[in-house]
Amino acid sequence: MNQRYLFIWGVIFWGGACQSLAGDIRLSIRDQNNNPLINTVIKLIPENHKVKLLPDSQIIDQINKEYVPQVIVVIKGGAVSFPNKDNIKHHVYSFSEAKQFELPLYEGTPATPVAFDQEGVVVLGCNIHDWMRGYIYVSDSPYTVITDEQGKAELVGLPDDTYQVEIWHPQLKKDIDAVSYSIIGEQLINVEHLVEIKPTVKIRRPQGRRSRRYN
């Protein structure tokens, strides 16, 4: 395993002293500058038990010419609606392998949500505003979480098993080596991962000659 890109100094606390902490994992993700990393997706795939997928409906807004939230996890078979909260039109599209679609220039909320039936990452763009990027991580595991602003996420009540772990981020510099966690009985596992990311380059262009601002 290449330790340059992935460091685990995870500490395992066995449950004994802690009550009702069966099979919980607390994750903390940081970037190479030791800053907490938001929008990191962590997917656990159990080796020995089958999972049931319960797809749901989610929302990605367009607010001030950005996708909000910028990254979401959708369980395979789920759907996403794309309300436009701006008073201008947007044109949402994806050319990704996991889902190709477009919602031609519109205001308000399109009547039909978009279904996502194939696992993978769907990258959203907008035909009008080049900088707009959104990401839908379509997952085939219910044990999929995304980090908050503190770079933290947690999985609660995991059945005993060994789980293969996949870690993804929109700015990921290099695929992260495979790692696994094992849950045996009541325990709380704290894990920290370091993820090397690329900087984002985002240029917001003015709309038309009268615009002076870049946002």
Instruction: Return residues touching Cu ion (CB under 5 A).
Output: 90, 126, 128-129
* Nearest residue to Cu ion, scored by beta-carbon proximity: 126
Nearest distance from C-beta of residue 171 to Cu ion, angstroms = 21
Phi-psi region for residue 212, left (φ > 0), alpha (ψ -120 to 50) or beta? alpha
**CB nearer to Cu ion: pick between 67 and 143:** 67
Decide: helix, strand or coil at residue 83. coil
Nearest distance from C-beta of residue 3 to Cu ion, angstroms = 41
Nearest distance from C-beta of residue 132 to Cu ion, angstroms = 5
**CB nearer to Cu ion: pick between 43 and 129:** 129
What is the amino acid identity at position 85?
K
Nearest distance from C-beta of residue 197 to Cu ion, angstroms = 25
The distance of Cα 180 from the centroid of its chain, to the nearest Å, equals 19
**CB nearer to Cu ion: pick between 98 and 128:** 128
Rounded Cα gap, residues 77 and 119, in angstroms: 9
**CB nearer to Cu ion: pick between 62 and 144:** 62
Phi-psi region for residue 145, left (φ > 0), alpha (ψ -120 to 50) or beta? beta
